[in-house]
Amino acid sequence: MLNAPDASSTRPYLLRALHEWCTDNGYTPYIAVQVDEMVQVPQEYVKNGEIVLNVSYDATSSMSLGNDVIEFKARFAGTPREIIVPVDRVLAIYARENGQGMAFPMHTKGSAQSGVTTVVPAPESRAPLAAVTTSKTASETSDDDTNPPTPPSGRPTLKRVK
């Protein structure tokens, strides 16, 4: 039997599944990425330590959605760039057209990652997902949380899956 500490992360599998779902349904998959020294992206497009990338097959070439890193080539303002994103730096993957997708806990140095957050878009919203994280881990939450995070009006909402 496989022990939880020995199990591989579900994040790369979920990323591949949602990327495939977006592609199969004619949606454009986007990923929100937490940028640090491990992430290779054009720094001039990074805002507040994050970048949102179009990872559709039309916008990329040589795409590899691996268990450890996402690698592809893309053009930014007409200039070809090599993009390398460690899977644990992906904050969310979602469809640009409707905001449906999944958000993940933010990576922090020395922290174990737990829990997954699913994205439930507001019906009237077609704006891209803003990745939202909470400071609680799955073990710290209870079924009777009385103060869940309140998203801004008109934006997709997030629901924590326990």
Hey, where are the domains in the chain? 7-140+150-161
Amino acid (1-letter code) at residue 129:
L
Homologous superfamily of 7-140+150-161 in CATH? SspB-like (2.30.30.220)
pLDDT tens profile 119-144: 444 444 444 444 443 333 343 444 44
> How many whole angstroms separate alpha carbon 91 and alpha carbon 133?
9
Q: Which residue has the tokens 């009006």?
A: 153
Give the pLDDT band (50/70/90) at residue 24: very high
Q: Which residue has the tokens 């805002």?
A: 47
Residue 23 DSSP one-character state: H
0.85 exceeded by pTM: no
**Where is pLDDT greater, at 149 or 58?**
58
Backbone angles phi, psi at 89, to 5 degrees: -95, -5
Residue 69: enclosing H or E segment and its boundaries?
strand 69-76
